[in-house]
Structure 1
Amino acid sequence: MSEAKRGPILGFFRGVWSVLTFAQQLVFNVFFLLFLLFAFVMLLAIAASPGVQPMHDDTALVLDLDGALVEQFTSAPVDRVINRATGQAQPEIQLRDLLQAIHAAREDARIDRIVLLTDGFSTSGFAAMRDLAAALRDFRASGKQVVAYGTDMEQRQYYIAAQADEVYLDPQGGVLLEGFGRYRMYYREGLQEKLGVDVHLFKVGEYKSAAEPYVLDAASPESREADLYWMNDVWQRFVADIAQARKVEVPALNAMINELPARVQAASGDLGKLALDEKLVDGLRTGHEFEQMMVERGTLDEDTQSFRQIGLDGYLMQINRPHLVAEPQPTVAVVVAQGEITYGQQPPGTVGGESTAELLRAAREDENVKAVLLRVDSPGGGVFPSEQIRREVELVQAAGKPVVVSMANVAASGGYWISMNADRIYADESTITGSIGIFGLWMTVPRVLEKIGVSTDGVGTTPLAGAFDPTRPLDPNVGLLIQSVIDRGYAEFIGKVAAARDSTPAEIDVNARGRVWSGAQAKERGLVDELGGFQAALDAAAALAKLEEGSYRVTYIEKPLTPFEQFVVNLGQNSRTEGLLRVLAPAPLMLDRETLATAERELAWLDRKGRSPFRAVAHCLCAY
């Protein structure tokens, strides 16, 4: 009787299970068929692809600057392709790509002008931006025109636009030149008084302000003094560059900036009209009106009904077509050190002690490499990984290959550490460098635990046992130990700088103590050798290696792509497969991965996993 009763119930669940199994197999098979279709279409597309299309005369090179200007992409190639396909890309533009395209377009008879689109452009500093501006001026010197357009322009976007022969702005837009500022949040009261976290700062140098927000409620007088000193230097150069580009007087431009609120009010709030009246722009045009103007000046493309044009990616494909090299050429190798300096192997956009040293080692061991250009854009980080890279620089030099450092936006603290032994150090006048100093930060939380009725107690075999437990109060002897390590680290830092710069520790200490300088100020104090951008440093590297112009090639030393990665990147560059990849790429996660990745990068230099409980840090929080 009971078996009969259970029969229908079991049958029901078995039926449900069969349906689920069928559905699972169906879904799997559908995805498998889609994958096969995807692969088949890709092969057809690749086989049918006509390759790089021929360019016609009277073509405009359109540089859409919608993205962050970087020395090196900060995500893996495959991630960039997939993120672009899913609309999750964080746009980035490599400075090297822009410089290469502008340089080639200068001599390319098919390119008649450059059109700059400035919407979305951003950068973390001004040295790389000044490299870009110099390239645009060089392009204009060839007699070709540069035209810029934006719907709205903040000061970094306008700086680039100002380098054009003509600047146009949307009638609803405006140009906002506001000056430079550096403001940070300070956590002392919240951490120490409200939460009960005890923060212990160990440092050398009254100007070493990176960790001040954890122990103060406002910036120290030394921090204010140093920041305003270098910031004013960079700002006056910024204004002078714009004034020169737009052929206006510096005092008049400064007056307009300082009186901006009143002048905007006088213009009835019309920022576009004010920009036109102040000669910051040459005209107000909608996007359609600007496009029609370019059609009238150029050649109509019948397919697009717009002016004949080519974008950055398409033009790079034109000028980077594979070509046979009869024999190996002498090479200047470029190694990029961009981002925080942390331990071990790190992806692009972060400087790893081991990974960046490996790139330098690869250049050292390549017999075709005759010189190395180390392009540094880093606020520093861990002392030990910085020292790993500095040692590899010395080994490259010991192999008979000169090393030249080109400082980009920031080469401070640990960024200066990895630079100091170069045969020549080049910095842009607006580079941020220096910050020669060391600090250590230690937090203890016994008062936090006390709030919830938790305490720590126990025994140890020595006075030091368990002393680095953050749940216990800091032992004064441990504080003495840490400060001694920090003192030694600082002495080592200025000692190495003195040896590298043919000076003495006492002389270096005068301009060190954690103080930040602009590139121009650092040159005056002997911390850099020459003022100049990337090209000047590259020329110097070739000259030190006794390479004549035109007799060598320039190669970036980077981690090579795997065959699969190269395959996916090629797909992303193929217009026939990009749309299909967009359809079949994994859907974006709801979690904001970029925000998490940014937070992880910013905190990576504090990581102590698997190492001593504390460590010295050479880091400069000098973004602005």
Structure 2
Amino acid sequence: MRLFGKILLAFLAVLGALALTGAVVAWKAVSSFGPSHPDVPDATVLVVDFTTPFRDGGHGNGGGLFPAQPTLRGVIDALDAAAEDDSIKAVIGRFGSDDRPMAQAQELRAAIARLRAAGKPTYAFADSLGDMGGSPATYYLASAFEKIWLQPSGMLGLNGFQAEVPFAHKALTDLGITAEFGQRWEYKNAMDSLIRDDMSAPQRASYDRLFQSWQMQVIETVAADRRIDKAKVNSLMQHPPMFAAEAKTAGLVDATGYWDELMTAVEDATGTRSHFRLDDYAASLPEPGEPHGTVIAVIEAQGNVHRGTSEVDGSGLYSSIGSDTTAEAIRNAIDDPKVKAIVLRINSPGGDYIAADGIWRELMRARDKRLPVIATLGDVAASGGYFIAMPARKIVAQPGTITGSIGVFAGKPVLTDLWAKLGIRWDTVQTSPNATLWSPNRPFTPAERQWFDRMLDSIYADFSGKAAANRGLTAAQMDQVARGRIWTGADAKAIGLVDELGDFSTAVRIARSEAGIADDADVSLVPYPAPPHGLEAVLQALLGSKLPGLFSSLSRLQAVLGPVLGLAEQVSTAIDPRGNTVLATGLPGVGTAPRH
């Protein structure tokens, strides 16, 4: 009857999901009355809200339960359209004290530069910038605009970059929790907070170099944009937040004034009182039609790397890198004769080693078939995120992209002393001494620890060896830049882990060149796989990776489901008239699988 119970629960889950889907579809239908493509006035000012976070990657607006968070690609596409649109007379960016990743700020800066090159006046406005902490990345982005306005009561903070890392080793030890973790090598610091009482010298050196590289990028760019000496910008970054008048005197802002005063000034300059929000402007743009001309496949790799199918969030966009989903997308692109190149967009801190290796293999197949693969790195492509970039013919990163971390860590918590404190005793039945290898109820034996270390050595050798081969470096050269260390994209280019600095459009340009596509040839950027929409998106958001297996199981059982439901009561009484149950469980290990 356990099987019948599972079938019944699955069936009820699908019914519930369908009911919720119906309600959502009805709500969307009602809420969508009215023009789906708002008309853009003949002369208007485009207003972009930079106080909201933008999600890296994603295509369109998603088709799930909830409105999609604005995507970086969607925002940039709209800004590029505005650059060519004669009806857009100026662009205003609205800023606050919200933080933004450096690489994303750099990609947006490139789009603002294209607006200015097209002759569009650009204005940045903030009520306050960085007054409550955070990195200088928000002002760094605002400085791409031609004119910066700051509210008179606001402040401008250029406080530099920092990281505060907690270390819980003593607290865990006091609770009776110890850790059996290992890493390769000294810069692979993901577990240091659990096994150390303070920051190691390698971890400090890694963070220090990362932040120094970012700071120099900010200093050099702000100095150039604001026509201020680099030494002065560096000096300003050593002080507390400046009041608005001080920021103007220092040359970091052009005017102090309120939002209405800026709007009046822009209206006078452009001759229009109309203003249009970016999300409305994006909705007014034509929907992509059927692919035409040469096809470049765009494969998104966003989030944690894991085995199985990629997860879909409530907006209908992929939010993780499932090895099965991603590998299938690569295979489909390889097998499609219309696809002449692949652009792989990566924004990932890493994840499961075996999953990343499976994706790596499919990309190597594309390489062997001479199908150009160009990787473009977003905010972060570290560890497993960098692993899947390695087979690319060219790797493109922003100067601020967190890159590398070629290494591995794994392990498990040990709760023996905690159970003793709580007065809980565990007994075990096992058929092999290794059956409880990953059990948190005991430490590794000496033999198990020896095997564990051998596993870490093997994974590190595989990762660094493939990296060396793919990047054309010797083993000694790779060991100097690997060992788990993170780098900025600028540093990664200098040491051979990245080929070119740039954004998504840079990767597309390189893909065209590598595939031999003429500059004036029509090219369609086609997502592989196509993002889920409608019912599929809703069900995937509700049921996650269980959806394909669930549908598969129900399909196989369709022929017998009716009779089983009809005879359920009789079968139940015949098998177990007293209602007794026998419980058999296979508890999953709680150890941390090898991650990089």
Query: Which of the five TM-score ranges fits, normalised by the shorter chain?
Result: 0.7 to 0.9
Letter of the 2:532 counterpart = L
Of the candidates 47, 55, 61, which is equivalent to residue 70 of structure 1? Answer: 55
1:331/1:228 CA distance change after superposition, 3 Å: same
Indicate the SS of the match to 1:471: coil
Alignment of 1:310 onto 2:276 = yes
Correspondence for 1:195: 175
CA distance in structure 2 between the aligned counterparts of 1:251 and 1:41, rounded to whole angstroms: 55
1:357/1:609 CA distance change after superposition, 3 Å: farther
Letter of the 1:285 counterpart = G
Letter of the 1:287 counterpart = W
Alignment of 1:148 onto 2:148 = no
Shift of 1:419: 0.5
CA distance in structure 1 between the aligned counterparts of 2:35 and 2:202, rounded to whole angstroms: 62
* 1:169-206 Cα distance to aligned partner (Å, 9 max, x none): 111111111101122111100011x1011111212211
Correspondence for 1:593: none
CA distance in structure 1 between the aligned counterparts of 2:359 and 2:372, rounded to whole angstroms: 15
Alignment of 1:297 onto 2:274 = no
Letter of the 1:490 counterpart = Y
Shift of 1:139: 1.3
CA distance in structure 2 between the aligned counterparts of 1:380 and 1:472, rounded to whole angstroms: 28
1:190/1:41 CA distance change after superposition, 3 Å: closer
Indicate the SS of the match to 1:280: coil
Correspondence for 2:149: 168
For the 8 Å contact 2:57–2:345, the answer to whether it is kept is no
Correspondence for 2:583: none
Correspondence for 2:557: none
Of the candidates 462, 474, 477, which is equivalent to residue 504 of structure 1? Answer: 474
CA distance in structure 2 between the aligned counterparts of 1:541 and 1:358, rounded to whole angstroms: 21
1:44/1:497 CA distance change after superposition, 3 Å: closer
CA distance in structure 2 between the aligned counterparts of 1:312 and 1:335, rounded to whole angstroms: 25
Count how many residue pairs are aligned between Structure 1 and Structure 2.
516
* 1:53-108 Cα distance to aligned partner (Å, 9 max, x none): 44333211211123212213599642323xxxxxxxxx833111122122222221
Correspondence for 2:594: 616
Indicate the SS of the match to 2:66: helix
For the 8 Å contact 1:179–1:235, the answer to whether it is kept is yes
Alignment of 1:130 onto 2:106 = yes
CA distance in structure 1 between the aligned counterparts of 2:420 and 2:431, rounded to whole angstroms: 26
CA RMSD, Structure 1 to Structure 2 (Å): 2.8
Alignment of 1:254 onto 2:228 = no
Correspondence for 1:592: none
Indicate the SS of the match to 2:351: strand
For the 8 Å contact 1:69–1:122, the answer to whether it is kept is no
Identity of aligned residues (%): 29
Correspondence for 1:342: 306
CA distance in structure 1 between the aligned counterparts of 2:323 and 2:150, rounded to whole angstroms: 45
1:281/1:39 CA distance change after superposition, 3 Å: same
Shift of 1:566: 8.5
Alignment of 1:139 onto 2:115 = yes
Alignment of 1:412 onto 2:382 = yes
1:207/1:554 CA distance change after superposition, 3 Å: same
Indicate the SS of the match to 1:78: coil
CA distance in structure 2 between the aligned counterparts of 1:298 and 1:479, rounded to whole angstroms: 71
Letter of the 2:292 counterpart = P
Letter of the 1:615 counterpart = A
Letter of the 1:106 counterpart = A
Structure 1 window deviating more from structure 2 (486-495 vs 529-538): it is 529-538
Indicate the SS of the match to 2:53: strand
For the 8 Å contact 1:444–1:471, the answer to whether it is kept is yes
Correspondence for 1:554: 525
1:226/1:99 CA distance change after superposition, 3 Å: same
Shift of 1:43: 6.9
Letter of the 2:149 counterpart = Y
Correspondence for 2:505: 535
Alignment of 1:56 onto 2:49 = no
For the 8 Å contact 2:76–2:111, the answer to whether it is kept is yes
CA distance in structure 2 between the aligned counterparts of 1:356 and 1:161, rounded to whole angstroms: 36
CA distance in structure 2 between the aligned counterparts of 1:110 and 1:338, rounded to whole angstroms: 35
Correspondence for 1:602: none
Shift of 1:399: 3.9
CA distance in structure 2 between the aligned counterparts of 1:519 and 1:116, rounded to whole angstroms: 26
Structure 1 window deviating more from structure 2 (465-474 vs 152-161): it is 465-474
* 1:110-164 Cα distance to aligned partner (Å, 9 max, x none): 11111111236542x2122111101211211222210111111122221121111
For the 8 Å contact 1:187–1:214, the answer to whether it is kept is yes
Letter of the 2:43 counterpart = D
Unmatched segments (≥5 aa) in structure 2: 1-18, 131-135, 313-317, 540-585
CA distance in structure 1 between the aligned counterparts of 2:45 and 2:331, rounded to whole angstroms: 41
Shift of 1:252: 0.8
CA distance in structure 1 between the aligned counterparts of 2:434 and 2:142, rounded to whole angstroms: 60
CA distance in structure 2 between the aligned counterparts of 1:446 and 1:567, rounded to whole angstroms: 43
For the 8 Å contact 2:367–2:391, the answer to whether it is kept is no
TM-score, normalized by length of structure 2? 0.81
Shift of 1:336: 1.6
Indicate the SS of the match to 1:542: helix
Correspondence for 2:81: 104
CA distance in structure 2 between the aligned counterparts of 1:489 and 1:532, rounded to whole angstroms: 31
1:172/1:235 CA distance change after superposition, 3 Å: same
Structure with larger Rg? 1
Structure 1 window deviating more from structure 2 (159-168 vs 59-68): it is 59-68
For the 8 Å contact 1:67–1:122, the answer to whether it is kept is no
Of the candidates 463, 467, 473, which is equivalent to residue 443 of structure 2? Answer: 473
TM-score, normalized by length of structure 1? 0.77
Shift of 1:44: 11
